[in-house]
Amino acid sequence: MTDTTATSPDAALETDGTDAGYEAYPRTEWDEHDHLPTNTGISHNKLAMWAFLGSDCLLFGALISTYLLVRNVPEEVPGAGPPVREVFDIPFTSVSSFVLLMSSMSMALAVGSISRGDVRRTKIWLLTTAILGALFIGGQVYEFSVFYNEGFGYTTNISTSAFYTLTGFHGAHVSLGILLLMSMYWLVHKGRIGQAQGESVEIAGLYWHFVDIVWIVIFAVVYLIP
Partner 1 sequence: MTLPESIEEEFGPAYEAGHAKHLRDRSFIGIALFLAVLTGLEVSTYFWDYGGFATPLLLILMVIKFGVVVAYFMNLRFDYRLLSWVFLSGLLLAVCVYIAVLLTFQYFD
Residues interacting with partner 1, by CB under 8 A?
28-30, 32-35, 40-42, 46-47, 50-51, 53-58, 60-62, 64-65, 68-69, 90-91, 94, 97-98, 101-102, 104-105, 107-109, 111-112, 115, 202, 205-206, 209-210, 212-213, 216-217, 219-221, 224-226
d(CA 171, CA 190): 29
Minimum gap (Å) between residue 61 Cβ and partner 1: 4
Minimum gap (Å) between residue 226 Cβ and partner 1: 7
d(CA 11, CA 23): 13
d(CA 14, CA 29): 24
d(CA 112, CA 125): 10
Coil/strand/helix, residue 156: coil
Minimum gap (Å) between residue 164 Cβ and partner 1: 19
Which residues touch 42 (CB under 8 Å, ≥6 apart)? Answer: 36
Minimum gap (Å) between residue 56 Cβ and partner 1: 8
When the beta carbons of 62 and 176 are compared against partner 1, the nearer one is 62
When the beta carbons of 56 and 153 are compared against partner 1, the nearer one is 56
When the beta carbons of 54 and 151 are compared against partner 1, the nearer one is 54
When the beta carbons of 152 and 212 are compared against partner 1, the nearer one is 212
d(CA 104, CA 98): 10
Strand (E) or helix (H) holding 161: helix 158-189
